[in-house]
Amino acid sequence: MGVQVSVVTPGAVEADVLAVPVVEPGEPPANGVLDVRLHGRLAALVAAGEVSGELGETCVVHVENGAGAARVAAAGLGPKTAVDPDAVRTAAGAVARAASRFGGSVAWLLDPALDLPPAEQARAVVEGVLLGAYEPGRWKTNRRRPRPIERIVLVGDGPGVSEAAARAERVAEWTNRARDLANAPGNELTPERLAARAAEIADGSEHLSAEAIGPEGIDELGMGAFAAVAAGSHNPPRLIVLRYTPPGVKAGVKLGLVGKAITFDSGGISIKPSLYMEDMKGDMAGGGAVVEATGALAELGVPLEVVSVVAACENLTGGGAYRPGDILTSMSGKTIEVVNTDAEGRLVLADALWYARREGATHLLDLATLTGAMERALGDLYAGVFANDDAWRDQVVSAGEASGDHAWPLPLHRRYRRYIDSAFADMKNQSVRDQAIPAYAGEFLQEFVGDGPWAHIDMAGTGFLTWPRPDYLAQKGGTGYGVRLIVELATRLSS
């Protein structure tokens, strides 16, 4: 059951905590009703220097008969000229974490003086509260559990506020479900269990169907690259296919979503270092985002035909594991020399991309925690976007910026292809040169996308946080990156 979201006037607030946004240097919004009901308490805190408006700062105080709430939280937005949706999300996330000590309901005062339309503020507040209050430690048994936020009250009005808030609540809930998948340990979230989650989502939607293709079917399809990566594990792979066919779709457009879902990645024979290997349970974050975003599209009723293809398997060592030097035949018929078994993501995506195009996708988008070099280049804030079509790349980047799943355009060029030239096969899966790694990985994938627009999101830094981030995604682990971007992109593509 989702969190209840409502919009009220300042005189009708009833909540456990009322959040009042404050910009630096400690300027709360002017609101006659609240100023009187708070008895100057907030102004006194500002005057005393206890509230500065610094981004992410939260000061919670108890009040008597104060604006319909037992507590008031001064929520820092940072400098007024720098306030954007991320600043609002960060402030709302800080309030949500403070409120998790007592739970219940959070009210937020929309500020018409900010250079953000009220609907944009509402969307950012709801996302910030729900994503900021997320708790990854659901396997802990000896810790006081945070109390859930059950209701969000937006105080104010404006065009589209209610609609934006309600939609943001649904998308944020699906984003948190993608985080649950990324945070689940490999002994729980096997490829079969991920396929079961997709089936569960499909069972709840009239226009969504799910199929899970096992090892025999993968072999029958000629997916030699995908099958090789999966061969070292006792847990069998699954090619998960979700088909969303709502009524009234836009004619001639079918979005193909492709996700990498390595439910645990040891690196195979080219084994990874042991430090932080436990985070490799999150190597399925792209596939998890595709699964949950498809569910979000169905629940929202976005009028766009979608086929989602997720290649789910483990990359482990074992007697059946594929080896450096092996030559694989992909579903497309192209052959691949294996140079490094830890460059497995591009192998499973090669077959999944070809399958999605065969299923009639006119526009392709793949999401993958693909290269560590991308994290070194853009950190944990931006994902890199590569594409064979500039207009489609720009649409993806724009959807990312609008949604909060930030993305940055990066180049592909045919001269990068030389990095994957092989003496023995059509191509190899890695270059020994430590140059342009995300770009030549993109060039590798481009070999399998067929005709039509395609974009590749390398979300290695943004999909799973090794260290907490100082914003509304303040927890280690899965971020749900990609769910909001996909919903925004599909909505725009359907119009």
SS3 state of residue 46: helix
Looking only at the bridges linking them, the beta strands covering 149-155 and 363-368 are unpaired
Please tell me which residue in 80, 272, 417, 476 is annotated as part of the active site: 272
Cα separation, 136 vs 148, in Å, equals 13
User: What's the Cα-to-Cα distance from 460 to each of 172, 184, 280, 375, rounded to whole Å?
Assistant: 21, 18, 11, 6
Cα separation, 181 vs 481, in Å, equals 12
Contacts of 141 (CB under 8 A, 6+ apart): none
Please tell me which residue in 254, 346, 357, 393 is annotated as part of the active site: 346
Looking only at the bridges linking them, the beta strands covering 238-244 and 208-213 are antiparallel
Cα separation, 332 vs 357, in Å, equals 11
Cα separation, 99 vs 146, in Å, equals 9
Q: Is 476 a catalytic residue?
A: no
Place of tokens 């899966």: 429
Cα separation, 324 vs 238, in Å, equals 23
Whether the Cβ atoms of residue 367 and residue 455 lie closer than 8 Å to each other:
no
Q: Is 346 a catalytic residue?
A: yes
Please list the alpha-helical segments (H only) found in 327-389. Answer: 345-358, 372-378
Token pair recorded at residue 67:
């604006």
| 25 preceded by a cis bond (ω within 30 of 0) | yes
Sheet with strand 208-213: strands edge to edge: 208-213, 238-244, 305-315, 254-265, 363-368, 454-458, 383-387, 407-409
Please list the alpha-helical segments (H only) found in 1-106. Answer: 32-37, 41-47, 85-99
SS3 state of residue 270: coil
Burial class (CB in 10 A: 0-12, 13-18, 19+), 459: buried
Q: Which of 175, 378, 361 has the alpha carbon at shortest distance from 285?
A: 175
Beta strands in 33-85, from DSSP E residues, in sequence order: 58-66, 69-79
Catalytic annotation, residues: 272, 346
